[in-house]
Amino acid sequence: MFGHVMDDLSPAEVEAAAKLYGPLADRVRELVAATVLTEVDGPDVAKAIELIREATALLGSAAIEGSFGVRWTIDGKRRTWGNAVVGLRNPVAPPLDIRHDEEQTYADVVLGPQYEGPPTLVHGGIIAAMLDQVLGDAAVNAGAPGMTGTLNIRYRKGTPLGPVRIQAAVDRVEGVKTYVTGQVVVDDVVRAEAEGIFILPKEVRNLGDNPPPGLLAPGD
Amino acid sequence: MFGHVMDDLSPAEVEAAAKLYGPLADRVRELVAATVLTEVDGPDVAKAIELIREATALLGSAAIEGSFGVRWTIDGKRRTWGNAVVGLRNPVAPPLDIRHDEEQTYADVVLGPQYEGPPTLVHGGIIAAMLDQVLGDAAVNAGAPGMTGTLNIRYRKGTPLGPVRIQAAVDRVEGVKTYVTGQVVVDDVVRAEAEGIFILPKEVRNLGDNPPPGLLAPGD
């Protein structure tokens, strides 16, 4: 599908790339938080802008065109490193490190000031974004992936900035539709809950009964 | 309410602060996009990290504690500059510049590679975040603000990265609940649609029939 790219990278090369670009994105995340909170004056802002412009020019001297897309390696692994919620190398992403156990799919993350909506609380839209991602990944993990069809969210209480758990589990699969539920939890209290329906796209259905594993993944 | 801060700033000082910190955030947005796309090698990444660390330290030398919150000026205007979707000085925010006409509340924005989910498409969670914000702002503009109670999103078609319109209008107000509908539109085609219920918080209800204008705003 459009935007899927096959890279001629070995597993070792992929690991090296993660170790190179992951810490870079972490440093930019720190800069993002500092930008939200800074109170320095004009001359210092001007100096910071000069440093940032220089870093941007340096990074831009060799770059992928368009967007990162989804990149595949020769051993059939996929990388969604540009993804806005889980992307290892995307400073907009917290990023979520999504895991699975026998009962559920979940992520524990600490959200900084750049995710604020109401004062001291996580933005409702960021909560929606994290739920979309974790619910979608639960569908993938259950072997029933899909694009988000509908996502219904109920906000029960404010979610404070800081440590947050997002969790989800597949409720049922009906044909091409996977029904998933999930919650955002802080201090053992459910702050928001969601129901999502994830639908296998027509393009993938046409590949037959067994689409290649991993063709769809979190964020799709 | 907690997290609301009264700043002793005149309108001219607020304008000067916007002109200082807005362009800083814009430069960080460019750096964020470059970080997603860069293909430079180890030595250049190391150089970029050094520049970014230096900028972060400089900006951190005088900073707000915790989060930006919602800041008020002496003339009763509020600033949600730290907001994750509309925040002028938050590089995570695109940011949306939300406007109102007689028919609707809307924002036109160009989304770069840092908002990707499926290859070449906007992340479903980012779509949810923008809808939450614009629907909430439509409720504010109608004089019936609230925190997001529920948000139901239906994804109809993929939303390509690039220019996107998000629009919303209040359907009806029932007591403390405001019902709002909205859409994400690209090339005159609806890509996603949403219904939201925004609920006036108890704390604000207790202030009487007429809460201070602007106490609730986009993102709350």
Residue B168 to residue B153: CA distance in whole angstroms: 13
A2 band by pLDDT with thresholds 50, 70 and 90? low
Residue B192 to residue B153: CA distance in whole angstroms: 7
pLDDT at B193: 98
Nearest CA in chain A to B4: A119
| Residues of chain B contacting A23 with CB distance shorter than 8 Å | 49
Residue A171 to residue B49: CA distance in whole angstroms: 44
pLDDT over threshold 80, residue A66: yes
pLDDT at A220: 42
Q: Count the neighbouring beta carbons within 10 Å of the beta carbon of residue A181.
A: 18
Candidates B215, B115, B104, B112; CA nearest to B167 is B104
Q: Which residues of chain B have pLDDT under 70?
A: 1-3, 206-220
Nearest CA in chain A to B131: A125
Closest Cβ opposite residue B58 in set A47, A55, A91: A47
DSSP string, A21-76: HHHHHHHHHHHHHHHHHB---HHHHHHHHHHHHHHHHHHHTSB-SS---EEE-TTS
pLDDT over threshold 60, residue A210: no
Nearest CA in chain B to A198: B155
What's the ipTM?
0.92
Nearest CA in chain B to A135: B125
pLDDT at B216: 53
A70 band by pLDDT with thresholds 50, 70 and 90? confident
User: CA of A136, closest CA in chain B: separation in Å?
Assistant: 10
Closest Cβ opposite residue A116 in set B82, B119, B158: B82
| Residues of chain B contacting A119 with CB distance shorter than 8 Å | 1-4, 67, 69-70
CB B32 within 8 A of CB A92: yes
Asked if the A96-206 domain carries CATH number 3.30.70.270, the reply is no
Put simply, the answer to whether B28 touches A27 (Cβ < 8 Å) is no
**Residues A147-198 pLDDT 10s:** 999 999 999 999 999 999 999 999 999 999 999 999 999 999 999 999 999 9
Tokens of A194: 């969601």
pTM equals: 0.92
Closest Cβ opposite residue B151 in set A38, A136, A153: A153
Closest Cβ opposite residue B150 in set A132, A150, A153: A153
Closest Cβ opposite residue A20 in set B25, B42, B118: B42
Helix locations, chain B, DSSP H: 11-37, 42-60, 124-141, 202-205
A60 band by pLDDT with thresholds 50, 70 and 90? very high
User: CA of B101, closest CA in chain A: separation in Å?
Assistant: 23
pLDDT at A216: 53
Among B29, B134, B148, pick the best mutation site for testing chain A contact (most A Cβ within 10 A).
Answer: B148
Q: How many residues does chain B have?
A: 220
Closest Cβ opposite residue A40 in set B59, B68, B133: B59
A54 band by pLDDT with thresholds 50, 70 and 90? very high
Residue B152 to residue A149: CA distance in whole angstroms: 11
The identity of residue B172, as a single letter, is: R
pLDDT at B106: 98
Residue of A9 and B95 predicted with greater confidence:
B95
In the three-class reduction of DSSP (H, G, I as helix; E, B as strand; rest coil), residue B184 is classed as strand
| Residues of chain A contacting B84 with CB distance shorter than 8 Å | 114-117, 123, 125-126
Put simply, the answer to whether A92 touches B115 (Cβ < 8 Å) is yes
| Residues of chain A contacting B136 with CB distance shorter than 8 Å | 124
| Residues of chain A contacting B219 with CB distance shorter than 8 Å | 116-118, 123-125
- Domain-by-domain residue ranges, chain A? 1-93, 96-206
What whole-number percentage of chain A has pLDDT above 90?
Answer: 78
Tokens of B92: 């995570």
